[in-house]
Each structure stands twice: as C-alpha cells, then as structure tokens.
Structure 1
Amino acid sequence: MNIPLRIGIACLALLMTALPARAQAAAEGFDLITATEARQEAQAQAGTPTAPMAPRTRSLPVPRPNQPVIEVVAPNAPGEAVPAPVRIQLAFKPAPGARIVPSTFRVLYGLLKIDLTERLRQHATVTEEGVVVDRAQVPAGQHRLILQVADDQGNTAEQELRLRVGGPT
C-alpha cells in the first residue's frame, strides 16, 4: 500500500472517531449560562438590598415610532418553567425605512451584565429578521437576559427575557 493511501485511511479513521463525539456535543447543546455565572449572579442579587423602599414615581417606557422592537417568540411560557436545553427565538421589527444591523445584537446576563454575546453567536443564527438558538444549556433557576439590537439609523431596542428553567427533559 502506498504512503498517500495510508495517510488518507488514517485520516479517515481519525475523522470517523471524532464525528460521534462532535455529534453528541451538538445534541447536548452548549452552555449559554455556566453554573459559575449563575452562582455569581445569585450572589450579586443576594447582596442587593431587599428592605422596603419609599415609593417613587417612575414613567413606563413608551415605544417611539422610530425605534426597533425585539419580540420574544420562544420560549413563550411567561411565569412557567421551561426545560433545559432551551430554544430561544427572537424577531426583530425595524422602524419604518430602517434595517436591523445584526452585528449590533448583544446578550447580557442579569444584574452583573455578563456579556454572553460571542458565546451565543457561535451557536445561533443572527439575521436582520431575528435570532434562533437551539439547545442552549441554562442552569435550573431564575435568569434574566437583556437583549439589545440597533438599526442602520442608530436607533436601539432593548428587551428583557426572564427565564425560569426547570431540569433537563
């Protein structure tokens, strides 16, 4: 047997052993929020004052007509626990005459605003129309994601996604 053929067979054998592990990793998903990040966030929240505060007046945000909108399509179970891994789907609605700039999309985690953007981008589809991410592993518990995007006219949108995650299915 000649040397190039041996090398080819060896490479093929190596590839065949690596594929099942890679397929299994894809099937299990990826850590959107690590257990360490969830612990840090819980500690930060525990450190915030919980004593009753004097009432204060605050205005509710009023959407402006020239502002893009982020709509959470999935998970669509307000207040209900969702199983891990989580599917997240967002729809972007640009202002009239504007286009969403996908590269401006950001995801921040909780009170600490841990930037999860690059980790999510590696496993998501981000387009002008929105975001789809499948099999995001999130530890059980309450989580708050802050989603941000901008359009080509500099208008920004921010949306909060609160998740209550149960155990894996």
Structure 2
Amino acid sequence: MTKWMWLGIFAAGLLDLGTVGATPLITDDEARLPPPKGAISANTRGILRGPKVEVISPNEAAHSPLRLQLKFESFGGARIDIESVKVLYLRTPNVDLTARVKPFIQAGGIDMPDAELPPGEYLVRVDVKDSDGRPGSVSFMLRVSP
C-alpha cells in the first residue's frame, strides 16, 4: 500500500471516531428495569441552608443525545463538595450513574453536553453536600423523544 492509502484509511478512522461522541447515561437494559414503588419527581424545598440543585436543561422532552445541565448553589459561605455528588436513576434496583457523570461535575454544577439515553421517561435523583456537610437534593424526570 502507498502512503496515500494509509493516510486515507487513517483519516476515515478519525472521521468515524467523530460520530461516536455521545456519552451513555442510561443503557437500553437499564431503561427496561421496573420502576420503584411510589416514586415521584420533586422540585420543592423548604427553608434550608443546604445546597440547591436546579435543573437547567433539558426543561422539556428532548432527543438523544441531549445536554444534561444542572446548577449547584451553596449558601452561607460554604462550597459545593464535588466528591459528594451522587446521581441515581430511580429503578428497582436503583442504577448509580455517578461514574458516568463524574467527568462533567464541577463546583457550579453538571454540564454533560451529549448524554445518550433511549427514548422514554427517566426519574433521576441528584444528591450533593456542601463543605459544611449540609445535604441538598433534587429529583426530576428526563423525557427523551424517539
């Protein structure tokens, strides 16, 4: 083979890698797990000093891959403890998504630009603590269109 053929094969391989950019958040097998009993999404909170977790995106049904963006806010001079962040897909049994999301966690929140999920509805809970050990949490529904 000539060097031009090798270069063409190499370039084709690089182009193929560019299409694989989405990061799996929930697999097809996990999506088929049975729902937990009595689980509901909740975004209300009382007067607490613990951190607040706000869902920024998606705020409506979206196509996969989608941008998963959450904002963390701490109070009283405390900082977000990014090592305390835990992300769960609420099923029976629950699926821990923390390792999949970890590269996208920062003190200001989670920004996962290309989360890949099969079509459906997914109840997700995010727990976080601040540097004073106070907890904050949010549960929300991710809706993925076919």
Same fold flag (TM > 0.5): yes
CA RMSD of aligned residues (A): 2.3
SS in 1 for 2:110: strand
Does residue 34 (structure 1) correspond to residue 27 (structure 2)? The answer is yes
Superposition deviation, residue 75 in structure 1: 0.9
Q: What are the equivalent positions in structure 2 for 1:9-158 lying under 5 Å apart?
A: 16=11, 18-26=13-21, 29-40=22-33, 44-45=34-35, 48=37, 62-64=46-48, 66-77=49-60, 81-111=61-91, 112-122=93-103, 124=104, 126-158=105-137
Residue ranges of structure 2 left out of the alignment (5+ in a row): 39-43
So what's the TM-score if we normalise by structure 1? 0.71
SS in 1 for 2:144: strand
Amino acid at match of 2:18: A
So what's the TM-score if we normalise by structure 2? 0.81
SS in 1 for 2:20: helix
Superposition deviation, residue 15 in structure 1: 5.9
Aligned partners of 1:15, 1:63: CA distance in 2, in Å? Answer: 58
SS in 2 for 1:118: helix
Amino acid at match of 2:17: R
Task: Give the % identical residues.
Answer: 29
Aligned partners of 1:97, 1:33: CA distance in 2, in Å? Answer: 35
Aligned partners of 2:11, 2:63: CA distance in 1, in Å? Answer: 32
Superposition deviation, residue 63 in structure 1: 3.3
Q: Report how many aligned residue pairs link the two structures.
A: 135
Question: How big is each residue's C-alpha offset from its partner over 1:44-90, in whole Å with a ceiling of 9 and x where there is no partner?
Answer: 22x848xxxxxxxxxx85231x211001111122xxx2211111111
Query: Which structure is higher in RCO with an 8 Å CA cutoff and minimum separation 6?
Result: 2
Q: Which structure shows the bigger proportion of residues in helix conformation? A: 1
Superposition deviation, residue 16 in structure 1: 4.3
Question: How big is each residue's C-alpha offset from its partner over 1:27-57, in whole Å with a ceiling of 9 and x where there is no partner?
Answer: xx122000000001xxx22x848xxxxxxxx
Q: Which has the larger radius of gyration?
A: 1
